[in-house]
Structure 1
């Protein structure tokens, strides 16, 4: 299992940078690139999936019942999320889209995060098995 979380940092050379350590992958985001509301929502989903073993590094086998491995991740800005909801993950075929309320993240961070996550998936440094089963965040 690989735990994830998003944390703000002021000293980053680009909008997002992964920091590995002791089974935790911290997605350091330059302060001001996303709102604290979006950070809280992202951390909720990341904790939920991490607790179920849905994310691991490529040299570790997935847990039983982990679901299909994601082939790609995308992020899109939307205007149709309910009040109080700042993002919504959705499976689309072999991938997943993070639907993000417009204005909660900069366009540059969106581009950088998609590029970074895509590279991690392609290289096998990060393997994601996002469970779409009953009671999970994708079950709506």
Structure 2
């Protein structure tokens, strides 16, 4: 059994994706994209938090295909130059993509216009997923 390279979850309005240091595997990415295409219309905001892992060219193409037909507002939290460059490339296809510092989830949520109990829930889920990925990476 292979360990996940990314984890994801949702709240009412936000899809949350957390990546470790490695790029997502095709298997994890396919599972993520299956979730993305089945999201209800009310869940049109995405928060990505990454320690350095980001989608490869093929995976980015699947996102670009999706956003060509759907409106998504995306906040990407990272301190990694490569992921910031990926964010810039994604913004060419979706001008609603913005980058934030890796730990500045509060600013990302303000950009996504998520506040109150839902913002608290997002913070909780991100922390839980980070710990899960870090714990698995340490094994």
Give TM-score, length-normalised by structure 2: 0.32
Q: Which has the higher strand share?
A: 1
Q: Which has the higher helix share?
A: 2
Give TM-score, length-normalised by structure 1: 0.31
